[in-house]
Amino acid sequence: MTATRIDGKAFAARLRERVGEHALAFAEAAGRKPGLAVVLVGDDPASEVYVGSKGKATVAANMLSFKYRLPADASEEQLIKLVDDLNQDDRVDGILVQLPLPGHLDEQSIIAAISPDKDVDGFHVINAGRLSVGQSGFVPCTPLGCMMLLTDRLGDLSGLEAVVIGRSNIVGKPMAQLLLDANATVTVAHSRTKDLASVVKRADIVVAAVGRPQMITKDWLKDGATVIDVGINRLPPEPGKEKGKLVGDVAYDEASEVASAITPVPGGVGPMTIAVLLRNTAVAAYRNAGLKVPEGL
């Protein structure tokens, strides 16, 4: 058996195109474009790249991109004041504060300051609560992207056994909740799980979000499992090369001998994250304007 490669890059491109069409329809109905504000504190190089790519993707999806920058030594009060101003700004439908923040700033306090209805990252405790009780809110972009790939591949997930490896608030916990809502039987595994390999071996669906390169080998997988690899890890560089290879939490080549379908790294889950961020922003725009969210968005 050779696993089908789940092409997240192609899926994300189709999603971004669809979001762009709905953004144009929104602009016609509301008299303005949807707007996404991104706040960057400090000058972390990786964050610079992420913010730049999000801005370009936002404009390409027929939405307005607002970028705000504060110095690395900005106070918590300054940042919360900026967030509050954006909460009140009718041009802004989604607010994203780029993480990680400098160490003197409390991330939870900053996230709590964002209006839940503009929290397109889905990190606010109110949106986490909405997800847990089945109410409509915003779901973190990475797990929602994973869910889109899974339902596109498998259709109805009812009765399937799913194992989520990792219990973070950003991926593991919301991923488990989404799978539960889709009527899968869900186990959340983590560093304290006894005999982790045997737990994973039961799963029809494996979502790996643990941050350990190529930890999951083919011996851990049930024949025919569908594998979603959230991990992005850089190996040490080979001799003569500046950068090491990017790999996931799953040993892709050997896992492909056992799995029925698997996401690659790069080109799997990664492209979905920004695409879902744009989707969440478009949804926020419709809701904030009191308009019905279109089917298929």
Which positions are annotated as active-site residues?
A: 54, 98, 121
> Hey, is 287 helix, strand or coil?
helix
Q: Count CA within 13 A, CB hemisphere, residue 67.
A: 14
Bridge partners (DSSP) of residue 69 are 40
| Cβ atoms of 282 and 34 closer than 8 Å | yes
> Which amino acid, one-letter code, is at 36?
L
DSSP state of 216: B
Alpha-carbon gap, residue 166 to 160, rounded angstroms: 19
* Strands across the sheet containing 185-189: 4-5, 261-262, 226-229, 205-208, 161-165, 185-189
Alpha-carbon gap, residue 174 to 154, rounded angstroms: 19
- Token duo for residue 287: 């809701």
Bridge partners (DSSP) of residue 187 are 163
Candidates 29, 283, 292; CA nearest to 141 is 283
* Strands across the sheet containing 35-41: 64-70, 35-41, 94-97
Q: For tokens 């790294």, what's the residue?
A: 265
Residue 55 CA to its chain's centroid (Å): 16
